[in-house]
Amino acid sequence: MQNVNDRIALLREKMRELNLDAYLVPSSDPHQSEYVAEHWESRTWLSGFTGSAGILVVTLDHAGLWTDSRYFLQAEEELSQNEVVLHKQQVPYAPEHIPWLIDQLPKGSTIGCDGYLFSYNELKGIEKIFAGKKINLNYTVDIVSQIWEDRPPIPQYEAMEHGTKFAGKSRGEKLSDIRKKLHEAGADMYVVSTLDDIAWTLNIRGSDVDYNPVCISYLIIAINSAAWFVDSSKVSTKLAAEMKKDGISLLAYDKVEGILKGTPSRAKLLVDPGTLNARLYEAIPDGLIVKGENIICNLKAIKNETEAGHIRKAMIKDGVALLRFYRWLEATLDAGETVGEAAAAEKLAGFRAQQEGYFGESFGAIVGYEANGAIVHYRAKEETCAQIEPKGILLLDSGGQYHDGTTDITRTTALSTPTEEQKTNYTLVLKGNIALDMAKFPMGTTGVQLDTLARMFLWQECLNYGHGTGHGVGFFLNVHEPPQGITPNPLTSRGQNPMLPGMFTSNEPGFYKTGEYGIRIENLVLCVEVEENEFGKFLGFETMTLFPIDTTLINEDLLNDQEKQWLNDYHQMVFDRISPELNEEEKQWLADKCKAI
């Protein structure tokens, strides 16, 4: 059986045959997905690193994995048994992979990659930088397909309808909205490659990618028709007939490039070069492209009243499942037993599965006990995970996919009496969460501006956390959904996007003490209109997540009266909405957790 070093050796052998001095392996697929089907887990297969973000760079004498602070500890552990070296992204004095390559390679070198795995914008940006240093980029080279002998096939799961009852709008209405935007952009065709955008537009969901209910396909929308490029085995006769009613024809998945190459000369194709992969972009004949933003992304981000109503239902279901899990955990620990982190994640998924309309997890649960809680995107493995005991702190970040919506919640729980330091740091995180939740802000306010609210109490103590404060969340779709985000980085598009009414976003400040414990408190919030006056329109947030916040970790002296009132009001809302679904013992447990402070 090949190990990582064997695979890199095979890669280098092909590189020499092709006269390549370096090769880039990203984490994406031809659809620029964050989570990818096993077929496209090339970076994981070649490096051994299983995190969802990072890029592998292989030269003839070095293999490096670049990833961000969320994955530093995980990467150090997973790469320790092979030759791949961790390079830390976004830290002072550490070069990113492009500057590093420029420094390492002489002029005239050639770097290879598979252009289907990079967006056009990303690849052209890289090519421009390399050209300035007299380094060539060949993005027509797919070495991985040549050396990965037992590569999993592209998934072929059947797509399912997720109709107007949930979506609030029919396929036809959505296509009409998109075509209006298409006309405004001066185009008559629109190429869509992002899987969640396709699922949202067509009111379908799928099972092709773990955690993300999407169907691997492409979509081209014209003024009077549309073509869905999807393997026929994924579409039932009934669904195909429904598509036909809406003027949508079905074509094979692998036909999209040929269709783009044969685009009529009078056509004007609207393309988002930030999401369409470079090879498909360049298949379109010269002069036919109209560059523009992703129309569907912005439409999809604004949840309508029907969607918001279903999300509220999903939150009740999720709260009930979490309550039953935490009751089980308490009883198990009280009985003198321990629980493995991986077993806890599996148990929680089981409680969620008991809820009507449950489809699966929205991401792999992060069950971080004690020191593992400080690993931001920790993933417990059954054979090596920690045993949860009735002491210390447990961080649990998890989520579910329901037909009613997508959930994502983090709670940090004291399993014994916490230290004063832990209580102080927890309360600082809680104050940031409350400040963001209570914020009122004018229309046009961006995620970068809002981010400071969640960090300011930690900053006053010269403390911080390395991840963003919030990400957009889909509606029974991807748990990470653009365009909005709450982040300290002003250079990201997510941070630059204004928060708008209907956007569904996480609020998750944290604090992490490496080797000891982690703290994160996460609720999902819906942006709503608050007031309009002579100063303009003001917005705020409706808290959607429904589960108690651990009050045993709070230093009440650090909370002001307004913050205490917010917490008491939140807990009253949690009790009022969840308790009707509970038996008497469960109600009493919830009442104890929701006691006013």
Residue 566 sits in a domain of what CATH number?
3.90.230.10
402 plus 440 within the same structural domain: yes
* % pLDDT > 90, the chain: 93
291 plus 309 within the same structural domain: no
Domain boundary among 245, 270, 300: 300
Q: How far apart are CA 311 and CA 526, in angstroms?
A: 10
Assess if residue 596 is contained within a domain.
no
**pLDDT tens for each residue of 229-278:** 999 999 999 999 999 999 999 999 999 999 999 999 999 999 999 999 99
| Residue 546 predicted with pLDDT over 70 | yes
The count of domains in the chain is: 3
| Residue 111 predicted with pLDDT over 80 | yes
The CATH number of the domain where 98 resides is what?
3.40.350.10
Angle at 187 between CA 184 and CA 190, to 5 degrees: 105
**pLDDT tens for each residue of 112-171:** 999 999 999 999 999 999 999 999 999 999 999 999 999 999 999 999 999 999 999 999
Assess if residue 412 is contained within a domain.
yes
The amino acid sitting at 462 is: C
Supply the pLDDT for residue 377.
84
- Is pTM beyond 0.85 here? yes
Q: How far apart are CA 77 and CA 427, in angstroms?
A: 31
Question: Taking residues 220-237, what's their average pLDDT?
Answer: 97
457 plus 533 within the same structural domain: yes
Q: How far apart are CA 188 and CA 439, in angstroms?
A: 41
**pLDDT tens for each residue of 567-586:** 999 999 999 999 999 999 99
Assess if residue 61 is contained within a domain.
yes
Domain boundary among 147, 173, 196: 147
**Mind spelling out the 3-state secondary structure of 497-556?**
CECCCCCEEEECCEEEECCCEEEECEEEEEEEEEEEECCEEEEEEEECCCCCCCHHHCCH
143 plus 189 within the same structural domain: no
Supply the pLDDT for residue 70.
81
- Nearest CA to 380 among 394, 366, 393? 366
Does a cis peptide bond (omega within 30 degrees of 0) precede residue 26? no
The amino acid sitting at 589 is: W
Band of pLDDT at residue 1, cut at 50, 70 and 90: low
**pLDDT tens for each residue of 448-490:** 999 999 999 999 999 999 899 999 999 999 999 999 999 999 8
Assess if residue 488 is contained within a domain.
yes
Full residue range of the structural domain in which residue 286 is found? 160-300
Band of pLDDT at residue 2, cut at 50, 70 and 90: confident
Assess if residue 76 is contained within a domain.
yes
Per the prediction, the chain carries an average pLDDT of: 97
529 plus 449 within the same structural domain: yes
483 plus 450 within the same structural domain: yes
Assess if residue 154 is contained within a domain.
no
41 plus 15 within the same structural domain: yes
**pLDDT tens for each residue of 293-352:** 899 999 999 999 999 999 999 999 999 999 999 999 999 999 999 999 999 999 999 999
454 plus 568 within the same structural domain: yes
| Residue 39 predicted with pLDDT over 70 | yes
459 plus 542 within the same structural domain: yes
More confident: 92 or 104: 104
Supply the pLDDT for residue 463.
99
**140: which 2 tokens?**
């027509």
The CB-based long-range contact list for 241-247 (8 Å cut-off, 24+ gap) reads 242/161, 242/171, 243/171, 243/202, 246/171, 246/172, 246/175, 247/175
| Residue 92 predicted with pLDDT over 90 | no
Supply the pLDDT for residue 90.
82
287 plus 363 within the same structural domain: no
281 plus 333 within the same structural domain: no
Q: Residue 234 has what DSSP assignment? A: G
Alpha helices in 340-460 (DSSP H): 341-353, 420-438, 447-459
Supply the pLDDT for residue 565.
99
Supply the pLDDT for residue 161.
98
Domain boundary among 300, 335, 366: 300
Question: Taking residues 221-230, what's their average pLDDT?
Answer: 98
| Residue 443 predicted with pLDDT over 90 | yes
Assess if residue 264 is contained within a domain.
yes
Assess if residue 153 is contained within a domain.
no
Supply the pLDDT for residue 452.
98
More confident: 405 or 81: 405
367 plus 508 within the same structural domain: yes
Supply the pLDDT for residue 557.
98
